[in-house]
Structure 1
Amino acid sequence: MIRPDRDTVLIGVESSPSLTDVAVLERGLFAFEEARLGPPEHAHFAVFARDLEGRIEGGADGHVMWRRLFIKTLWIAEARRRRGLGRELMRSVEDEARLRGCRSIWLTALGEPAAGFYRRLDYVEIGVLADYVGGQSLFTLHKILEADHA
């Protein structure tokens, strides 16, 4: 059987793809999904904890799409951990997500201690990849946001 697409394209692995080429993939996927689902209303924000000199001691980074927030990164400097800073950052993230009209937040957490942190903040586990790396599982969690706390 002849496959015309295989006669006109070459498939190859590139170990260090250019950011421009990767952006072509992302734009193509976003255009496809937008045609199917409507405008995603992309947005990005971060919340930082800084010391008095302005150095970052922790923070969270997220991407909003289709009224959902995906938390890409949450990090706290080792010296600042176990003092409630993570809880405060997540409260700020959730407040900002609500202001932006987000209906829910989802994230991944590597290892049980990280997953437990989010569970204590009322995030619910929706998936797990056992033994993802180094004996640690990768958890996917989410939290439905209420429209308003008032």
Structure 2
Amino acid sequence: MLFEISDRADAADAAAVADGLLRFNESELGPSGMRALTILVRGPETEVGAGLIGRTAFGWLFIEKVWVGETLRGRGVGRALVDRAETEARARGCTDAWLDTFNPQAHDLYRRLGYEPFGQIERYVGERTRFFLRKVLREDRRP
């Protein structure tokens, strides 16, 4: 047995680990319906000015990354990205969403959008707390 340690994940190797874990989870829980979700805001020269990266699986939306470029901040772009992700997640049959952040402004935005904290790590980076938040997307969600 050989253990390799690296500071970079080869895309094929990372996919092998992710696929193996997904197959295991699906063998235990049934089909996940795993699908990537990417929403981009492009500028006039097609450059990416903001975006959201996430995925849907097992009836949940997981928002992994949200970034809004400096020139687009304060214009409701973050809210619009999350709204569009939630709309797409509902269309995919998701009943709930979750995300995490250690950015105070993002935390406040997510709270305004109806996300509720369910856990945190104090002093995650310096004095900043990492918050884990969730939101019910459909009231008729699974029991």
Greater Rg by CA: 1
Report the CA distance between 1:24 and its aligned residue: 2.8
**1:126 corresponds to 2:118:** yes
Q: 3-state DSSP class of the match of 1:26?
A: helix
Report the CA distance between 1:31 and its aligned residue: 1.6
CA distance in 1, matches of 2:135, 2:51: 19
Mark the CA change 1:84 to 1:14 in structure 2 (over 3 Å): closer, same or farther: closer
Report the CA distance between 1:108 and its aligned residue: 0.8
For structure 1, the 5+ residue unaligned runs are: 1-8
Report the CA distance between 1:27 and its aligned residue: 2.2
**Alignment match, 1:101:** 93
Residues 61 and 86, structure 2, Cα contact 8 Å, conserved in 1: no
Deviation string 1:22-79 (CA, Å, 9 cap, x unpaired) is: 3332222212111110011110121122223322211211111111111111111112
Alpha carbon RMSD of aligned pairs, Å? 1.9
Residues 98 and 147, structure 1, Cα contact 8 Å, conserved in 2: no
**1:79 corresponds to 2:71:** yes
Identity of aligned residues (%): 35
**Alignment match, 1:54:** 46
CA distance in 2, matches of 1:21, 1:52: 36
**Alignment match, 1:136:** 128
Report the CA distance between 1:112 and its aligned residue: 2.3
CA distance in 1, matches of 2:71, 2:9: 37
Name the count of aligned residue pairs: 140
Q: 3-state DSSP class of the match of 1:54?
A: coil
**1:92 corresponds to 2:84:** yes
TM-score with structure 1 setting the length: 0.83
Q: 3-state DSSP class of the match of 2:31?
A: coil
Q: 3-state DSSP class of the match of 2:65?
A: strand
